[in-house]
Amino acid sequence: MNIATPSNSEKDNVSKAAGIVGFFTLLSRILGLVRDMIVANFFGAGMAADAFYVAFRIPNLLRRLFAEGSLTIAFIPIFTEYLRKKNQKDAFELVRVVLTVLSLILAVVTILGILFAPWIVRIQAWGFGGFGVKYELTVVLTRITFPYIFLVSIVALFMGVLNSLKHFAAPAAAPIFLNVGIIGATLWISPHLSQPIIGTAVGILIGGCLQVFLQIPWLLKQGISLFPRWIPNHPAVKRIGLFMLPSVFGSAVYQFNQFIGTLLASFLVEGSVSWLYYADRVVQFPLGVFALAVSTAALPSLSRQAVEKDLNGFMETINHSLRITFFITIPAMVGLIVLRTPLVQLFFERGAFDSNAAEMTAYALMFYSTGLWAVSGMRILVSAFYAMQDTKTPVKIAFVCLIVNILLSIMLMVPMEHAGLALALSLSSFFQLILLVFFLRLRIEQWHPQQLMGPVLKYVMASIGMGITVYFLYAWWLHLEIAPGTGGFLAGVMGIVLFGVIIYFGMARILGCQEVSSILSSLRIRLSSLRDV
């Protein structure tokens, strides 16, 4: 890469795109919570709900392995290279070729999934047996939901194209429409069927179709034709496939990490698996809204700079993305630790989820939260490796950290029970971040990550000040003895959170954190850009 004078344009692009992605991701997460509440209200935790979640698990797993992660990550750098080094005509032809080949492969996978659904269910849900009402219902639901992998993979390709062309709104809004499809089908289709849960499964397909249709007008507006173009030996197709293999393995490592955690938790006291699941749901909220938004926004910019060999711009985009991520996730970590109990009570403590379950979930949340900043930073650095078309290094590091996580989990689960598994994951994430920094520093000798220490220290100081203030405010609020599940409890928790945000931003501004102005500017840009969506 050449050393050039970096401009603020890419930093502005990342900030604006992260704001748009974060906004729509937040809406999606909120709707996802509403979706879960509606499905739970209709079907509880009985046979129909079990069958539905097992049926949706397979296409959902394939989505995580192939669609939203590896396909987009593999496609964006190569598509960007075609845009920069060749011309728009060749790049847009590449889209048609990949779409044609991908559609054929996905059609075959979908047909096989539908045909072999009985065997898939036997493997995935061994306890259901190979016969009976529950097993048969799961097979039917699996056949209904399996085509979703076709739809969401097409969406992932479209997302890569639009993000590379600096359009982030439609791809970021796509998950909202999946939730809309499921909610709408559950409310208005399910009540008219003899087996209502089938309506919810149909809602997944409706949501998938809505996701695809949402992207098409924006693609056509860019001048991209979606008419099939059959060139299976196109050189870029092979390269995309080769880049996907390591990233698929990397996603598989993450899924295996979750599997190991669940497996080890099953040896602990009853409820451990659920406590970890609910704690993870809480910590995934800021992780998805902020870390995913910034990494999604950074990848196209990093890919452009890698192709153009703009070393200074590449390093500045990494540093800017890390600063924004740490500016948000460090106070989020502190806030989750201090307010872990009232947040868990607010989200989950009702019905069968009693105060003991809330306490145990909050215990796990405390240790999951400690790794929030590390997991967020990892996403940025992994995007940097992928932008340089290096998919092997982050996968090798992920595999090493998988072993570290297993060893730490075995050591910590005895003295700390389920919370030890949460702490093990956070510690292994920190180790993974250190390795990513080390190997990226080897790749780019001019990059000096120690330059981030000054800004990060300011974020930590502001977060500690915010945490102490919120702690004493929460301690005073406890004396009011407001019962969870009431409007007063909701208002109190939200009020404390809002007060904490104000305190943090105020202290960050006093300490001279540039990200305060950047984020406020991004908010203004986001509001104006939403009018153009």
pLDDT at 184: 94
Torsion of CA 314, 320, 322, 324, to 10 degrees: -150
pLDDT digits (tens, 9 = 90+) for 142-164: 999 999 989 988 988 888 888 88
pLDDT at 2: 47
Paired residues of 47 in beta bridges: none
Q: What is the mean pLDDT of residues 233-248?
A: 77
Task: Take residue 390 and report the two structure tokens written for it.
Answer: 């290096």
Contacts of 206 (CB under 8 A, 6+ apart): 181, 182, 184, 185
Q: What is the mean pLDDT of residues 370-375?
A: 90
**CA triplet 121, 252, 172: central angle to 5 degrees?**
95
pLDDT at 185: 94
* Confidence grade of residue 250 (pLDDT, cut at 50, 70, 90): low
Task: Take residue 104 and report the two structure tokens written for it.
Answer: 């054929």
pLDDT at 378: 86
pLDDT at 533: 45
Beta carbons within 10 angstroms of residue 404's beta carbon: 17
Q: What is the mean pLDDT of residues 372-392?
A: 85
Percent of the chain with pLDDT over 90: 23
CA distance 57 to 34: 19
Q: What is the mean pLDDT of residues 6-35?
A: 69
pLDDT digits (tens, 9 = 90+) for 421-469: 999 989 998 999 999 999 999 988 888 888 889 999 999 999 999 999 9
pLDDT digits (tens, 9 = 90+) for 349-359: 766 667 888 88
Lowest mean pLDDT, pick from 109-113, 444-448, 477-481, 524-528: 524-528
3-state secondary structure 360-411: HHHHHHHHHHCCHHHHHHHHHHHHHHHHCCCCHHHHHHHHHHHHHHHHHHHH
| Short-list 387, 309, 333, CA closest to 14 | 387
- Residue 140 CA: distances (Å) to CA of 49, 50, 111, 115, 390: 13, 13, 14, 11, 41
Task: Answer for the pair 236, 78: CB distance below 8 angstroms, yes or no.
Answer: yes
Spell out the domain ranges in the chain: 45-232
Task: Answer for the pair 48, 137: CB distance below 8 angstroms, yes or no.
Answer: yes
pLDDT at 287: 76
| Short-list 289, 285, 288, 278, CA closest to 345 | 278
Beta carbons within 10 angstroms of residue 440's beta carbon: 21
The CB-side HSE value for 257 (13 A sphere, CA atoms) comes to 22
Which one has a higher pLDDT value, 298 or 12? 298
Beta carbons within 10 angstroms of residue 291's beta carbon: 27
Contacts of 314 (CB under 8 A, 6+ apart): 1, 302, 305, 306, 384, 387, 444
> Which range in 117-126, 242-251, 454-463 is most confidently predicted, on average pLDDT?
454-463
Residue with tokens 């259901």: 128
* Confidence grade of residue 129 (pLDDT, cut at 50, 70, 90): low
The three-state secondary structure class of 310 is strand
- The reported pTM is 0.72
Q: What is the mean pLDDT of residues 170-175?
A: 82
- What would the DSSP string read from start to end of 441-491? HHH-TT--GGGGHHHHHHHHHHHHHHHHHHHHHHHHHHTT-PPTTSHHHHH
pLDDT at 3: 43
pLDDT at 5: 42
Lowest mean pLDDT, pick from 17-26, 352-361, 386-395, 470-479: 17-26
Task: Answer for the pair 372, 287: CB distance below 8 angstroms, yes or no.
Answer: yes
pLDDT digits (tens, 9 = 90+) for 194-215: 889 899 999 999 999 999 999 9
CA distance 239 to 242: 5
Q: What is the mean pLDDT of residues 370-398?
A: 86
Q: What is the mean pLDDT of residues 228-245?
A: 80
Give yes or no for residue 316 having a pLDDT over 90.
no
Please name the amino acid found at residue 325: T
CA distance 201 to 226: 28
Residue 127, classified by CB atoms within 10 Å of its CB into exposed (0-12), middle (13-18) or buried (19+), is exposed
What does R_g of the chain's alpha carbons equal in angstroms?
23
| Short-list 516, 475, 514, CA closest to 496 | 475
Give yes or no for residue 239 having a pLDDT over 50.
yes
> Which range in 127-131, 390-394, 501-505 is most confidently predicted, on average pLDDT?
501-505
pLDDT digits (tens, 9 = 90+) for 507-524: 998 988 877 776 666 556
CA distance 224 to 208: 21
Contacts of 220 (CB under 8 A, 6+ apart): 226
| Short-list 70, 208, 95, CA closest to 162 | 95
